[in-house]
């Protein structure tokens, strides 16, 4: 009994001491008026961000309404006449195009993506399919290589490229791919992730923008989700991404003629990539990085919403979480690396700098929300 009472007394003393310490700490915090200013600042930031998002939504609604009513489609704003057949030049009338397909252990979709790229209706001697395989699974590697050999036997100019490391991941693979000697003869590069399947007419619907408009550095197509109805998660992703393509990309293309490259289903002018400094692997959003650097060099971008490229949405929570983490953390890291570069740029106007900073890093892409 005495031991039990002693134990209870010790616990009472400890609890009483902890309560006194907590009360003392809270008293000091209240006395020093730390919490109240911090809460006021937090509320002010939240209010400012809410107003920014509201204004952005209203602005986009107004612009997209004007675009729809006025019919300001890409083919009315830019010259994009089909390439004329020339009997004397033959296939030389078509520019040389590189088609890059970065891959990593793509067992399920490698045949679809390679097949879609090889079936592009472009003169066979005027485009090169470059499969950039970073797979670590040797079985999948051999399967991808065998698929490339099969298409090569059918007359397609296809190159199977591997590396002895995965430095830079996708950006590193794309960068290495552009170093090959045969790439020097290419004027443009189309990029498709491994789960993307372009229609045969893709190049015919994008390359004319680049041929007839020397100021355009990128033509971006829309994504079409083939598994949108697979589950609740894919349906929610479809709604979010449909807004991104239908409104955000359309508004960016229609007003300032630049926006974030989506990393796939787009065609770049080689000169734009080179002038922007090429691919860099300093963040997880290498596509945004390149787009910002190219826009600061004065290149314009065109979004063609009517052109859709089939692809698949992440259908597992693990894949979705990885994708969202990359999209969320990347902009915050890139902002820290590029803010001074944007401010010091002398090739674009002050208003353009403000728009670049806002459209890429603030608004709904706010670095305060996405910071890691």
Q: Which of 209-223, 267-281, 330-344 shows the lowest per-residue confidence on average (mean pLDDT)?
A: 330-344
Report residue 3's pLDDT band, with 50, 70 and 90 as the boundaries.
low
Residues 308-320: pLDDT tens digits? 999 998 888 887 7
Q: Which of 32-36, 195-199, 270-274 shows the lowest per-residue confidence on average (mean pLDDT)?
A: 32-36
* Chain mean pLDDT for the chain: 85
The mean per-residue pLDDT over the stretch 191-199 comes to 95
Residues with catalytic annotation?
A: 134, 287
Q: Give the per-residue pLDDT at 15.
A: 55
Is residue 370's pLDDT more than 60?
no
Report residue 367's pLDDT band, with 50, 70 and 90 as the boundaries.
very low
pTM of the model: 0.83
Q: Give the per-residue pLDDT at 5.
A: 58
Looking at the chain, the whole-number percentage of residues with pLDDT higher than 70 is 87
The mean per-residue pLDDT over the stretch 58-80 comes to 84
Is residue 202's pLDDT more than 90?
yes
Residues 249-284: pLDDT tens digits? 888 888 877 788 999 999 999 999 999 999 998 888
Is residue 8's pLDDT more than 60?
no
Report residue 44's pLDDT band, with 50, 70 and 90 as the boundaries.
confident
Q: Give the per-residue pLDDT at 13.
A: 47
Is residue 222's pLDDT more than 50?
yes
Mapped to the 3 state alphabet, what secondary structure does the chain carry? CHHHHHHHHHHHHHHHHHHHHHHHHHHHHHHCCCHHHHHHHHHHHHHHHHHHHHHHHHHHHHHHHHHHHHCCCHHHHCCCCCCCCCCCCHHHHCCCEEEEEEECCCCCCHHHHHHHHHCCCCCHHHEEEEEEECCCCHHHHHHHHHHHHHHHCCCCCEEEEECCCCCCHHHHHHHHHCCCHHHHHCCEEEECCCCCECCCCHHHHHHHHHHHCCCEEEEEEEEEECCCCCCHHHHHHHHHHHHHHHHHHHHHHHCCCCCCCCCCCEEEEHHHHHHHCCCCCCCCCHHHHHHHHHHHCCCEEEEEEEEEEEECCCCCHHHHHHHHHHHHHHHHHHHHHHHHHHHHCCCCCHHHHHHHHHHHHCHHHCHHHHCC
Q: Which of 28-32, 233-237, 280-284, 324-328 shows the lowest per-residue confidence on average (mean pLDDT)?
A: 28-32
Q: Give the per-residue pLDDT at 320.
A: 78
Report residue 341's pLDDT band, with 50, 70 and 90 as the boundaries.
confident
């Amino acid at each position: 009994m005495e031991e039990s009472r002693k134990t209870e007394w010790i616990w009472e003393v400890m609890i009483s001491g902890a309560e006194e310490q907590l009360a003392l700490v809270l008293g000091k915090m209240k006395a020093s008026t730390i919490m109240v200013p911090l809460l006021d600042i937090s509320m002010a930031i939240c209010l400012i961000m809410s107003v920014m998002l509201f204004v952005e939504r209203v602005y986009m609604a107004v612009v997209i309404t004007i675009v729809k009513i006025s019919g300001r489609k890409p083919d009315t704003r830019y010259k994009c006449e089909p390439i004329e057949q020339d009997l004397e030049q033959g296939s030389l009338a078509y520019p040389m195009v590189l088609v890059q397909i970065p891959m990593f252990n793509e067992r399920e979709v490698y045949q679809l993506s390679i097949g879609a790229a090889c079936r592009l209706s472009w003169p066979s001697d005027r485009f090169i399919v470059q499969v950039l395989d970073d797979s670590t699974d040797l079985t999948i590697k051999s399967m991808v290589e065998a698929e490339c050999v099969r298409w090569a036997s059918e007359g397609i100019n296809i190159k199977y490229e591997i590396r002895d490391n995965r430095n830079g991941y996708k950006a590193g693979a794309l960068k290495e791919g552009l170093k090959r000697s045969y790439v020097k003869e290419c004027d443009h590069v189309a990029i498709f992730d491994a789960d993307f399947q372009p229609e045969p007419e893709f190049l015919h619907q994008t390359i004319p923008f680049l041929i007839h408009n020397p100021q355009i550095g990128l033509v971006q197509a829309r994504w079409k989700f083939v598994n949108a109805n697979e589950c609740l998660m894919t349906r929610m992703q479809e709604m979010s991404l449909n807004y991104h393509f239908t409104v955000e990309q359309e508004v960016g293309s229609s007003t300032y003629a630049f926006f974030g490259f989506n990393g796939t289903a787009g065609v770049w002018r080689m000169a734009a990539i080179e002038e922007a400094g090429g691919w860099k692997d300093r963040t997880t959003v290498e596509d945004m990085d390149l787009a910002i650097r190219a826009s600061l060099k004065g290149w314009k971008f065109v979004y063609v919403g009517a052109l859709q490229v089939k692809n698949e949405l992440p259908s597992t929570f693990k894949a979705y979480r990885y994708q969202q983490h990359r999209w969320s953390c990347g902009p915050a890291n890139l902002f820290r690396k590029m803010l001074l570069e944007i401010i010091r740029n002398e090739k674009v106007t002050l208003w353009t700098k403000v728009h670049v900073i806002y459209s890429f890093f603030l608004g709904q892409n706010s670095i305060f929300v996405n910071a890691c």
